[in-house]
Amino acid sequence: MTELYEVGRSDEGEPFLIMEKLEGRALSHLMRSGEPLPLEQSLSIAMEIAAGLEAVHAAGVLHRDVKPENIFLHEDPDEERTVAKLLDFGLAGNAEEDLLTEAQRTVGTPGYMPPEQARGVDGLDERVDVYGLGVTLYEMLTAALPTEGSTGRQMIEAVVKYPPTPITYFRPDLAGSVGDVIMRALSMKREQRQAHARALRLELARVAESLRERDVLGRL
């Protein structure tokens, strides 16, 4: 998440926020080439965003719009590395809030929201963001979305009615642990997904560690 340093009012009574200055680009910008991102990089980004979601959820807040446009890749000069930051909490709220606008339309981004959010039901929980992150990771690795549709309405209908396209359709090489973790996060029934962001992060960490071990052994 972006760091918030101070909230207050100026001498003239105007409200202000002092936030962390970010240097870099949005994940969506990095994905504009239409080519899948490297597996190691994709897992690293997903784990950092999952860690951010853990903090958000611990505060009782759901983001409800996790997608590449809302993920910023910050070039951190202190840590000398790129750090993934979760931005844009415009749709954030607690689990008790209704997801419908005054016009009674579903709030969220078609293609990245799970069936329960697409239907505009009450009682959303952390698994709404698990799904959004799962879609984002799927897209990083395939340059495609797990559901198809030419319009937002078609995407919403597809997400509600049909299971997501298996990631192995685009990436047969991801059969096994990587694909299994991602497809579990994309389960139509939320009780079949990882229970929370921490569970997803830990599963991804185990996958990443297994890949590193396999790579090391392959060099011996």
pLDDT, tens digit, 9 for 90 and up, residues 47-104: 999 999 999 999 999 999 999 999 999 987 776 788 999 997 755 455 444 433 333 4
pLDDT reading at 145 higher than 80: yes
49 within a domain of the structure (yes/no): yes
> Is the separation of the CB atoms in 170 and 151 below 8 Å?
no
18 within a domain of the structure (yes/no): no
170 within a domain of the structure (yes/no): yes
CB atoms within 10 A of CB 160: 15
34 within a domain of the structure (yes/no): yes
* Alpha-carbon 219 to chain mean position: 33
The CA distance from 114 to 126, in Å, is 11
Average pLDDT estimate for 11-38: 81
CATH code of the domain covering residue 158 = 1.10.510.10
Q: What pLDDT was estimated at residue 121?
A: 81
Average pLDDT estimate for 157-165: 96
Q: Which of 26-35, 76-85, 139-148, 194-203 has the lowest mean pLDDT?
A: 76-85
3 within a domain of the structure (yes/no): no
Average pLDDT estimate for 189-208: 97
Helices vs strands, H then E, count in the chain: 7, 5
Give the position of tokens 């504009």. 32
> Is the separation of the CB atoms in 201 and 54 below 8 Å?
yes
148 within a domain of the structure (yes/no): yes
Which two three-digit tokens encode residue 216? 């090391």
- 0.75 cut: is pTM over it? yes
Which residues does the annotation mark as catalytic? 65
> Is the separation of the CB atoms in 140 and 36 below 8 Å?
yes
The CA distance from 149 to 157, in Å, is 9
Task: Write down the H helix ranges in the chain.
Answer: 27-30, 39-58, 115-118, 127-142, 152-161, 177-185, 197-219
The residue segments making up the domain with residue 83 are: 24-215
* Partners of 82 in beta bridges: 75
How many domains, in total, are found in the chain? 1
4 within a domain of the structure (yes/no): no
160 within a domain of the structure (yes/no): yes
pLDDT, tens digit, 9 for 90 and up, residues 99-128: 333 334 456 899 999 999 999 888 899 999
72, 75, 67: which is closest to 84 by C-alpha?
Answer: 72
Phi, psi of 126, deg, nearest 5 = -60, -25
